[in-house]
Amino acid sequence: MIRILAAEDKPPIVLKLGNRMRTIPMHSVPEPEDEVQPRTIKLGHVPKADSDAALEAFLDDFFEQTKDHPFLRNGSVWKDSVVFEVSKFDGKIHLGFIQTLYKKQGHANEAMKWITELADKHQVTMDLYPQPVGTDKGMTDGKRNIMSRNELVRFYAKFGFVQKGADMVRKPR
């Protein structure tokens, strides 16, 4: 629901959508003939997108706590043990991938807990496509080195991600 507010001394018009407000200068709207009273216009369902400022604050915080990956152009390393690829895309934080450098030591769990808490702090939605990274080719010890897609779906679900088509989405708490 959008509320349009204006007063007789020609201040800017303020559009209010939920908790968000947008100011429009009076020169960009028609001159009212009479005093304009606040009114409500129902536009139907308008999906709530995360504010650009919140997404930027999340990314600033994220990059402040990680290091650039020395070889992966868009990669970031967290605590010298986990590689992330994170970007702002379609009004959300997109997690391109997460890969641990040391397997089966709990680093992925710790990293996911950290990044989801960061998303909650900044009230941003995250999404991802659960796809295995790497290969088991060349493994001589017979142990699997990567998680299957189904294992990844279960792993991300532990952190609040839900399936939406082929992707997974996590809304802030």
| Lookup result for tokens 């709990």 | 106
72 shares a domain with 11: no
∠ CA 87-93-96, rounded to 5°: 55
Please name the amino acid found at residue 79: K
What is the tens place of the pLDDT at every residue in 28-63?
444 445 454 554 444 443 344 558 899 999 999 999
Give me the number of domains the chain comprises: 2
Q: Does 57 share its domain with 133?
A: yes
* Pair 85, 137 in one domain: yes
Q: What is the pLDDT of residues 118-160, one digit of tens each?
A: 999 999 999 999 988 776 555 555 556 678 899 999 999 999 9
Task: Classify 84 as helix, strand or coil.
Answer: strand
Look at residue 46 and tell me if it is in a domain.
no
The number of C-alpha atoms within 13 Å of 36 and in the hemisphere containing its C-beta is 21
Tell whether 77 and 17 lie within a shared domain.
no
